[in-house]
Amino acid sequence: MARTSRHREYNEELNVWQASTDLMSSAFLMLILFLLLTIITSSLSQTNQNTDTPPIILIQDEGAYRFASGSAEIPPKMLTYILREIIPNIESNAKKYNIDVVEVIGHTDGQPNGNVVSNLDQNLEKVVNGELPIVNLRAGSNADLGLMRALAVVKVLRDVQRKQGKLAKLSFRGYSAAQMILPSGKIAAIARQDDKTRRRIEIRFTRLGKEQEVK
């Protein structure tokens, strides 16, 4: 009887050890599966976030899309083009490239803008805030004119965002490059003649970065 009892105790100890080993093995396998799932999820997340350079959308200032000389009033056909073609293009690229900021840049040619006295210093903020229409601004330079035309396009985009719910979560910024930058990206030489190839609106896509304090 004593031998049988010792044999039974030995079997019970063996069963407890096997159960503990099985439990540890299962926990180890679960840990490996968890790590694999984490690696796969991280990899898929990086794959889904497109890090390629977004395209630049151009609106050439020519033909039916041409601004009147010295004006930032958007021609009717250009407005239709922005609503039907440009806005869907912006939405598609913003989603594809994870964009939150749309920059609109006005480019002019090098023709002098006449002898008009600029009033942007007095009224620019009011136009940006919607208190005054774009037509109330007077451009005293090509830098003024480029900015005014960019802001005219920005206003259309903001109106669509507010009234139609499109372009969600996007911020819009208007800038002027005046006559300084060629379509190739190179700095332009001095040229005062009419040049439709240089007059354009560029729409660029960027992401907000974190502010860094410079010490």
User: Distance between CA 128 and CA 137 in Å, rounded?
Assistant: 11
Domain coverage including residue 85: 57-206
Q: Are residues 184 and 85 in the same domain?
A: yes
99 in the same domain as 173: yes
0.85 exceeded by pTM: no
Q: Is the pLDDT of residue 8 over 80?
A: no
Of the residues 48, 66, 86, the one at which a domain ends: 48
Q: Are 74 and 38 in a shared domain?
A: no
Average pLDDT of the residues of the chain:
85
Q: What is the number of domains present in the chain?
A: 2
pLDDT at 108: 96
Q: Of 16-30, 156-170, 182-196, where does mean pLDDT reach its minimum? A: 16-30
Each residue of 55-111: pLDDT tens digit? 999 999 988 899 998 999 999 999 999 999 999 999 999 999 999 999 999 999 999
In a shared domain, residues 34 and 63: no
Q: Are residues 105 and 42 in the same domain?
A: no
The 3-state DSSP class for residue 187 equals strand
30 and 77: one domain?
no
- pLDDT range class, residue 42, cuts 50, 70, 90: low
- Quick one: 21 and 62 in the same domain? no
Same domain (yes/no): 34, 128:
no
- pLDDT attached to residue 47: 44
DSSP codes, 19-79: HHHHHHHHHHHHHHHHHHHHHHHHHHHHHHS--SPPPPEEEE--GGGPPPTT--PPPHHHH
Q: Which residue has the higher pLDDT, 196 or 7?
A: 196
Residue range 77-93, pLDDT digits in tens? 999 999 999 999 999 99
**Domain membership flag for residue 136:** yes
